[in-house]
Chain A
Amino acid sequence: MRDEQRRKERLDRGIKVRADSLYALMSWRELSYLTAPRLLLIVGILALPFLVPSLYWQRVISVVCIYALLAVSFDFLAHFVGLVSLGGAFFIGVGGYISALLNTSLGVPPLAAIPIAALGGAVICTVMLLPCLPLRGVYFAIVTLMYPLLLMRVIEAANIFGGTDGIMGVESFPTPRVEEYFVIGVMLLFLFLLRRLVNTDLGLVLRAVKDNDQAVKASGISITLFKALGVFISAFLGCLAGACIVHIYMWGGISLFALDFSILPIAATVIGGGGTLVGPVLGCFILVPISELLREFGTLRIVAYSVILMAFVVYRSEGIMNYGQRKYHQFERWVKV
């Protein structure tokens, strides 16, 4: 007769006060307990270019950071504004083309062209997405999925901006070290800023738009304005990533609108854990190297991350970061019922 049942009890560690973002620290140990994971991430990423052996893998780190920026922008838009955009490639493409054109036809140096392209691209993307903002859920997802495909086909058909050949001879960063640390720095900076932003009043309104837009409307706040702001921030990060990538590859073309840039950030977000902003970065650090290792097998890498994406969406939609945070912040024990 052993029919006793057990359940898992979860207890928060004692340093949390009332809310997720408030802590009461009593000792250096507790302080380090809080700061260690954050420091580990920052120091780890900053040290990474010195730790990896070859120039090739240093380049991979830059690419990881590009994807991380894009994934963070997806995560922000999806989980803090409530607009699921399947068109990361749209932002990449617009930012990339602007930066490449600025550089090749006007001779603007990369470090100046990138911010201009990010801002200009964000404005263009926001204006183009403006009519779609009233759409919700699935419909916004479908329409954003179509935008990069449309631009790709238009560029191909009208043969503008270099057509299928793309734009050659884009200037690269001054040195590889500058390239790495520029991209890493930008990624860490915007990760930090976004984490700050979502806890401000603005972030609160954005989350309210996601959770209950009617209530926001009833409070006399224009939801279209705030959705547009959210899209602008997200597009800014995406265009920034796109502008960086043309200067890394020294080439811009229609493959900037390719599916890779739409799917991989989503996969990274799902794996890393949506709604955490750090999760997508971790997801990119897992996925992009896998994809690079499979590069010699051609399109097998797309198969690989599609399967990983599908598996995580279907079976483990929580993601690594949410799981990890729960394990890190809470005691678990079995208790008899």
Chain B
Amino acid sequence: MMDILVYGTVNSISLALMALGFALVYGISRVANFAHGALYVVTGFLTWTLFRAAELNYVLSILLAMVMTGLIGAAIYQFFLIRVRGMSISEIIASYAIGLAILEGFRWGGFKGMTYTLPTFMQGSVILAGTPVDYHRLLVVLIGVGVVAFLWLFTHYTRIGLALRGMAQDERAALMLGIDSDLMAVVAMGFGSMLAGLSAVVLLPLGNIVVEKGYDVLIQAIAVCIVGGLGSWAGAVVAAFIIGYAQIMTVMWWGAHYQMVVALLAIIVTLILRPSGLFGRQKELEERV
């Protein structure tokens, strides 16, 4: 029972971390970034390259990799996606194609197998109410809570954060108030990519860096955002906990194969029953006939 509680919490926070970048870009700014999973994997391999191949300091390589991913995300937007801005289907297809090209490019370039790992931040583990938890997983929880808090403050109290929200709510009004929506979309994309990078460097030391993770991360991020409702932080966090616990419970009772099935079913069921999600208020009438 404690297993479920502890690992459920860790899994939920991991999901929240994966989804935050996507939630910021798609939920808050209405810019579809279906290359999210690819950027996650990109950061993993960048960190690996900087740390193992270029033999830089671990912290330095993590920071560098995150900044580089942010720049890559912003560049993808500035050079490609900006042309299809506002055409949501084209945005999805184009960004998904970019993500696919990046992921399969890695696979073609030989980045596959079990050889790519990153060290955990802290060694050792602690016994929590009879369940062993390693320090790194505890750190994941701390970082996750910190990032959620930071993002909430960021989108509610800083000029850029408010601009991002304003743009999603009413682009014309935002333009009239002097918000450069193209620039803001680039910023959102860069920032969201950095968050994808952050979740990658925090979560990847727990396993191998493999290309398949890119697809899984994208699906899980979409699941969290859809279930929680686009544009709602509280919804995203609650959804992360619902899906996180549901995943851990299915894994315990039915087997590890079903972990992704939970996320996929969550997306489909939510979209059918309540497309605006648990807490999303945006666009409910527009999207359903």
Alpha-carbon separation in the docked complex, A132 to B90 (Å): 20
Alpha-carbon separation in the docked complex, A335 to B32 (Å): 42
Q: Does A15 sit at the interface, judged by CB under 8 A?
A: no
Q: Which residues of chain B in 258-289 are interfacial with respect to chain A, using CB atoms and an 8 Å cutoff?
A: 258, 260-261, 264-265, 267-268, 271-272, 275, 286-289
Alpha-carbon separation in the docked complex, A157 to B250 (Å): 12
Alpha-carbon separation in the docked complex, A149 to B261 (Å): 9
**Given A134-B289, A314-B81, A147–B268 Cβ distance below 8 Å?**
yes
Closest beta carbon of chain A to B252's beta carbon, Å: 14
Q: Does A245 sit at the interface, judged by CB under 8 A?
A: no
Which of B100, B226, B260, B265 is packed against the most chain A CB atoms within 10 Å?
A: B100
Contact in complex: A313, B261 (CB < 8 Å): no
> Which residue of chain B lies nearest to A317 when distances are taken between CB atoms in the complex?
B90
Q: Mark B193-208, 1 if CB is under 8 A from A, else 0.
A: 0000000000000000
Q: Does A290 sit at the interface, judged by CB under 8 A?
A: no
Contact in complex: A137, B287 (CB < 8 Å): yes
Alpha-carbon separation in the docked complex, A153 to B226 (Å): 20
Chain B binding surface SS class = helix
Q: Which of A109-117, A190-198, A292-300, A319-327 contacts B (4 or more CB under 8 A)?
A: A292-300
Contact in complex: A299, B108 (CB < 8 Å): yes
Contact in complex: B219, A146 (CB < 8 Å): yes
Alpha-carbon separation in the docked complex, A274 to B261 (Å): 33
Contacts of B271 in A (CB 8 A): 132, 135, 139, 142-143
> Which residue of chain A lies nearest to B88 when distances are taken between CB atoms in the complex?
A138
Q: Which residues of chain A in 260-298 are interfacial with respect to chain B, using CB atoms and an 8 Å cutoff?
A: 263, 266-267, 270, 297-298
Alpha-carbon separation in the docked complex, A217 to B88 (Å): 25
Q: Does A131 sit at the interface, judged by CB under 8 A?
A: yes
Q: Does A119 sit at the interface, judged by CB under 8 A?
A: no
> Which residue of chain B lies nearest to A140 when distances are taken between CB atoms in the complex?
B271
Q: Of A136, A141, A149, A300, which contacts B92 at CB under 8 A?
A: A141
Closest beta carbon of chain A to B168's beta carbon, Å: 14
Q: Does B104 sit at the interface, judged by CB under 8 A?
A: yes
Contact in complex: A138, B32 (CB < 8 Å): yes
Contact in complex: A313, B90 (CB < 8 Å): yes
Q: Mark B69-113, 1 if CB is under 8 A from A, else 0.
A: 000000000001101100011101110111011001101100000
Alpha-carbon separation in the docked complex, A136 to B94 (Å): 19
Closest beta carbon of chain B to A187's beta carbon, Å: 24
Closest beta carbon of chain A to B133's beta carbon, Å: 27
Contacts of A131 in B (CB 8 A): 272
Closest beta carbon of chain B to A253's beta carbon, Å: 16
Contacts of A263 in B (CB 8 A): 97, 100
Alpha-carbon separation in the docked complex, A154 to B265 (Å): 10
> Which residue of chain B lies nearest to A297 when distances are taken between CB atoms in the complex?
B108
> Which residue of chain B lies nearest to A209 when distances are taken between CB atoms in the complex?
B289
Q: Does B159 sit at the interface, judged by CB under 8 A?
A: no
Contact in complex: A135, B267 (CB < 8 Å): no
Alpha-carbon separation in the docked complex, A157 to B261 (Å): 9
Contacts of A298 in B (CB 8 A): 107-108
23 A-B interface contacts by CB (under 8 A): A132-B271, A135-B272, A136-B286, A137-B88, A139-B271, A142-B267, A142-B271, A147-B268, A149-B219, A150-B264, A150-B265, A150-B268, A153-B257, A153-B264, A157-B258, A263-B100, A267-B97, A303-B108, A306-B101, A310-B94, A310-B98, A313-B97, A314-B83
Top 5 A-B pairs, shortest CB-CB distance: A157-B257, A306-B101, A310-B97, A302-B104, A299-B104
